[in-house]
Amino acid sequence: MADEQLPVRWLPVPERARGMRLDRFLARRFADRSRSQFAAWIKQGLVMDEQGQPLRASATMRGGEQLQIAIPGIAPDSPKPPFPVVLHEDERIVVVDKPAGMLVHPTGTAFAWAIIGLARERWPDADIVHRLDRDTSGVLVLSKDPEANVFLKAAFKTREVVKHYEALVRGTLVAGTYNVREPIGEAEGPIRIQMAVRPDGLPAHTDIEVLAHREVGGHRLTHVRCRLHTGRTHQIRVHCAHIGEGIVGDRMYGVPPEVFLHAWENGVDESTVRAAGAPRQALHAASIRMPHPSGGEVEVHAPFPPDMARWWADPTCLPLDEGHSDVPRGTAALLGVGDEEPGDDTDDESARVG
């Protein structure tokens, strides 16, 4: 039987699985593992019902129940993180301040703590309205009911939502506002999830306003504010790299492809962080203004994150920024190289990564 001290993963069984054997259901749900593997894990008592009682491989799924799973790699291997700070909540929507290093939605079949799972523990019908990359911090909107989700996604699609981001970019951008209207499509090269400015891409429009410059100890940074007019995959990151040297800490844009490929194959190590310039990409979703599903508008702001504030105040602490608990480091966040989501700035449902 599973160690009761270990975290378990609660897995809902959809109605369409009614009548299926437990081992067959799990093998279909997690297609990278075999039915015989699941049969062995079930025999070890690693799959339980809602009351914590071990199940048999031949157990028949009713549909609508929940399973408790303690299988390594499928169950969590770390304690549940705290829920993000709630910036706004009413009867229809929730807006949170997503910390860097936390996924919005799980990717792949391996377990990872993600905001949507934590949110549904509080609000069972919660759903994601848009997404942020794992390394991006700031404003994230969730709906509390299906109708609100449909309404808000439509508002994103019709560009009724105004979003502003703040970023620290490498080098010194000439003061002013850059009206970047450059189409974005898949990049040519060894990184299959990378995007690029290309003439046959989808229309993409970002305003990039230079707020300030900083040069200390040979480190040159520019603080910018970005407004999105479209929502393409990695749009801000691509456009910042197009007009300058890219966002500090970005492991994909503004650096040689070998930086990302090394991290993909070996995990993020000190050499990766040094090459990228910071422990994570310095991109923050600062504010959002949107129509409310019950009428009127709502505007929400997320405070500038402590790590980016520290990097701006003292760029000499980069690239490693050692000794601070808020720095995304180790497996808690640096594995984000393999967990890119549909874009730090994506609300376009047609945009997908991988």
Q: Does 75 fall in a domain?
A: no
Looking at the structure, do residues 290 and 155 belong to the same domain, yes or no? yes
Eight-class DSSP state of 76: -
- 305: domain CATH number? 3.30.2350.10
pLDDT reading at 221 higher than 60: yes
Six-digit token string for 47: 């799959």
Q: What is the pLDDT of residue 78?
A: 84
Residues 216 and 143 in one domain: yes
For 80-106, the pLDDT digits (tens) are 899 999 999 999 999 999 999 999 987
**Domain interval for residue 223:** 85-338
Q: What is the per-residue pLDDT across 224-255, written as a single tens digit (0 to 9) for each?
A: 999 999 999 999 999 999 999 999 999 999 99
Both tokens of 31, joined, read 């297609």
Whether residue 79 lies inside any domain: the answer is no
For residue range 152-161, list pLDDT tens digits in order: 999 999 999 9
Give residue 333's pLDDT band: very low, low, confident or very high (50, 70, 90): very low
Residues 27 and 125 in one domain: no
Identify whether 354 is part of a domain.
no
Look at the chain and count its residues: 354
Residue 349 has pLDDT above 80, yes or no: no
Catalytic residue among 23, 97, 127, 133: 133
Q: What CA–CA distance (Å, rounded) separates 346 from 204?
A: 11
Q: Convert the pLDDT of each residue in 37-59 to its tens digit.
A: 999 999 999 999 989 999 999 99
SS3 for 159-194 is CCCEEEEEEEEECCCCCCEEEEECCEEECCCCCCCC
Q: Are residues 51 and 96 in the same domain?
A: no
Is 236 in the same domain as 328?
A: yes
Residue 115's identity, in one-letter code, is I
How high is the pLDDT of residue 6? 60
- Bridge partners of 93, per DSSP, are 143
Do residues 131 and 202 both lie within one domain? yes
30 with 172, same domain: the answer is no
What is the pLDDT at residue 350? 31
The number of distinct structural domains making up the chain is: 2
Question: Residue 35: what pLDDT?
Answer: 96
- Both 47 and 190 in one domain: the answer is no
Q: Is 133 among the residues known to form the active site?
A: yes
257 & 307 share domain:
yes
β-strand partners of 247: 169
167 and 22 within one domain: no
Four-CA torsion 96, 291, 228, 166, nearest 10 degrees:
-40
Give domain status of residue 351, yes or no: no
Residues 17 and 111 in one domain: no
| pLDDT score at 337 | 44
Are 219 and 290 in the same domain? yes
Distance CA 262, CA 351 (A): 25
Is residue 324 in a domain?
yes
Is the per-residue pLDDT at 347 higher than 60? no
Whether the pLDDT of residue 351 is over 60: the answer is: no
Residue with tokens 């039915």: 35
In the predicted model, what is the mean pLDDT of residues 289-317? 97
pLDDT, residue 353, reads: 24
CATH classification at residue 63: 3.10.290.10
- pLDDT above 80: residue 338: no
